[in-house]
Structure 1
Amino acid sequence: MTDETSDETRNREREPDPATGPRSHKPVVVVVEPETPGNVGTIARAMKNFGLYDLKLVNPPKFDPDGEAYGFAGHAREDVLPNAETVTFDEIVENFHTVGFTGITNESSYSHDRFPFKTPVELKEDLKTVDTKTALVFGREGKGLSNDELAQLDEVASIPADDRYPILNLGQAATVTLYELRELTVEETQLPDVEHARADEAELDRLYDFFAEFLDASQFPDHQRDRAELMFRRLFGRAHPTDREVKTLLGLVRRANEQLREREELLDELGYDDRWNQ
């Protein structure tokens, strides 16, 4: 192996895997001719929620520092919104792999202005395999992106919604999209990696034993016992209860068993028939 070949191999080893490794380019968000400052603030906030900071605006209105845009932006008023860059539509087309978003898609493949299209989930899966400068392009509140604008973009995406009212508010559409793309943009969330630890099997077995005692103490019909025990086991097998949850249930079932035993002894002392065992 030559030194040149060795260098090439080492360089390939250092390159991140586009599907799993860190991405050198996070998507930028572009809003074309926004009309409502509050929507731009909402988008800026959603961007910060999901790890994006590069906002580009085509022909935006002026933003009052005390107005809706900064009011709706939350903490994104500190960085995303004030650093937003004013650009032209042509600049975005020339410098980025572009994805335009629309609420209305063609119903056939005869026109490609709005077809084929991807959902945000499909877009996420596709972008996992590449590492390129991508622009997510959102249109105007009233009429979105025109067919002429969509024709200049590389891909079209649309959020699935009820066909009786498929058009989302601009801020909502951006928020839904960025949420679905979060695996590409957020390295770590505030949520723990593991939702909870399942209780030890020994503790679950104790619970199953207590339940069997409960069936005895409550004089549950013998011909239904096997099914009841199996259903109880299957229920907790699917639920993945925590240790604390199982301990709480153990205490409850143990208490119920003790009360049922005392009731049985009291009935015997008083000579009463047990109407539940007739």
Structure 2
Amino acid sequence: MSDDGKPDRDRTPPRTRTRTPTTPAVAVVDAQTPGNVGTIARAMKNFGFEELLLIDPPELDPDGEAYGFAGHARDDVLPNAVETTFDDLVANYHTIGCTAVTNEDDDNHVRFPFSTPADLAERLPAVDGPTALVFGRERVGLTNAELARIDEICSIPASEEYPALNLGQAATITLYELRELALEGGRTQLPDLERVRAPEPLLERLYDQWDDLLVELNHPEEKREKTMRMVRRVYGRVDLTEREATTFLGLLRRATERPDRKE
């Protein structure tokens, strides 16, 4: 970033910067407000994206709202943004234009066919070369003339009555769906739920305790098999943790012992 707050035009050309081949760059065309640029930079930081390309950006004052909205992205993503031109963008990248308005069929090829962000997550790794997600202006998005020069179209599924999203929202949703292309191994701060699932021997003890309770309650014998199958299916769907299974086991054991009757 130069001293006047503008992205540096003299940086290494985007196509030669070091990055994972399948991690898309994020390009913003003619953003009207610095705050939206900062919001997009923050979303990039959230989901592991690093390369921010700006076409005709507003002034990005280090003391202004772009840096105020960027969170920790003010330290790297935003100051490392590269200002480029639309011509250079379409010449050097496989471009994906993001728009809320699509055509319904191939009578008009400008906004059709289109993919959802989830579709892109499965397909973009097969693209051999640098890719860029392209977002347009806050009010009108990308023009038909710009979309006509872009390689493919992406649209976020939304309400038919009001599909338009603001620029920051659209970028955040799209980057979230594509996070596995940017985060190493798709890793996030969330724990691996498979690691905390209760071990099978403990679950079997839980089921045995349920069976004992049904006997203690004089549940009709002809219904017990069906009831136990339902219990297994319910617990099987929720993936109990070890702590949860142990707690339920203790409660069921106490219920089976019927301490109130013994007193």
2:30 aligns with 33
Letter of the 1:102 counterpart:
T
Cα gap change, 1:57/1:201 in structure 2, threshold over 3 Å: closer, same or farther? Answer: closer
Q: What is the TM-score when the length of structure 2 is the normalising length?
A: 0.85
- Are the aligned partners of 1:64 and 1:70 in contact in 2 as well (CA < 8 Å)? yes
What letter is aligned with 2:246?
Answer: K
Deviation for aligned residue 1:24? 3.2
The equivalent of 2:64 in structure 1 is: 67
% same residue: 58
**Are 1:151 and 2:148 an aligned pair?**
yes
The range that moved more, 23-32 or 217-226, is 217-226
Residues 134 and 200 of structure 1: CA distance in aligned 2, closer, same or farther (over 3 Å) = closer
Q: Which residue of 1 aligns with 2:204?
A: 205
Q: What is the aligned partner in structure 2 of residue 48 from structure 1?
A: 45
TM-score after normalising by structure 1: 0.81
Match of 1:102 in 2: 99
Q: Give the conservation status (yes or no) of the 8 Å contact 1:23–1:131.
A: no
Matches within 5 A, 1:16-31: 23-24=20-21, 26-31=23-28
C-alpha spacing 1:194/1:218, structure 2 compared with 1 (3 Å): closer
CA contact (8 A) 1:196 1:242 kept: no
**Shift in CA distance, 87/202, structure 1 to aligned 2, threshold 3 Å:** closer
Q: Which amino acid letter does the alignment assign opposite residue 190 of structure 1?
A: Q
Q: Which amino acid aligns with 2:99?
A: T
| Aligned match of 1:120 | 117
Q: C-alpha separation between the residues in 2 aligned to 1:78 and 1:35?
A: 22
- Secondary structure of the 2:258 match is helix
Q: Does 1:163 align with 2:160?
A: yes
- Distance in 1 separating the partners of 2:42 and 2:197: 36
Correspondence 1:239 to 2:225: no
Deviation at 1:160, TM superposition (A): 1.0
Q: CA RMSD in A?
A: 1.9
Aligned to 1:225: 224
CA 119–25 in structure 1, closer or farther in 2 if over 3 Å, else same? closer
Runs of 5+ unmatched residues, structure 1: 1-21, 267-278
Q: Give the CA deviation at 1:214.
A: 1.5
1:176 CA displacement? 0.9
C-alpha distance in structure 2 between counterparts of 1:107 and 1:212, whole Å: 56
User: How far is 1:190 from its partner?
Assistant: 2.1
Distance change >3 Å, CA 240–CA 114, structure 1 → 2: same
Q: Deviations over 1:69-103 (max 9, x none)?
A: 11110000111111212211111112211111111
Q: Which amino acid aligns with 2:116?
A: T
Give the C-alpha shift of residue 184 in structure 1: 1.3
Once the two structures are superposed, residues 231-276 of structure 1 have per-residue CA deviations (whole angstroms, 9 ceiling, x without a partner) of 112222333322222211111111112235x41x56xxxxxxxxxx
Aligned pairs, number: 243
